Amino acid sequence: MTTDVRTVTPNATVKDAAQIMHNVNVGSVPVVENNRLVGIITDRDIVLRTVAKGQDPNTKVCDIMSRDVKTITPDTEVHEAAEIMAQKQIRRLPVVDNGNLVGIVSIGDLAVEGKYEDEAGEALHDISKNTLS
Q: Indicate whether 113 pLDDT > 70.
A: no
pLDDT by residue (tens digit) across 9-41? Answer: 999 999 999 999 999 999 999 999 998 999 999
The per-residue pLDDT for 133 is 42
Q: Which of 5, 25, 24 minimizes the C-alpha distance to 104?
A: 5
**Residues 41-49: contacts with CB under 8 Å, at least 24 apart:** 41/8, 41/14, 41/17, 41/65, 41/66, 42/66, 42/92, 43/18, 46/14, 46/17, 46/18
Proportion of the chain above pLDDT 70, given as a percent: 83
pLDDT by residue (tens digit) across 80-107? Answer: 988 898 888 888 999 999 989 999 998 8
Confidence of residue 112 (pLDDT cuts 50, 70, 90): low
Instruction: Give the C-alpha separation, 100 to 35, whole Å.
Output: 5
Given a contact cutoff of 8 angstroms between Cβ atoms, the answer to whether 31 and 8 are in contact is yes
Q: Indicate whether 131 pLDDT > 60.
A: no
What order do you get walking across the sheet with 28-33 strand by strand?
Answer: 28-33, 36-42, 100-106, 92-97
Judged by DSSP in three states, 64 sits in coil
Task: Provide mean pLDDT across the span 95-124.
Answer: 72
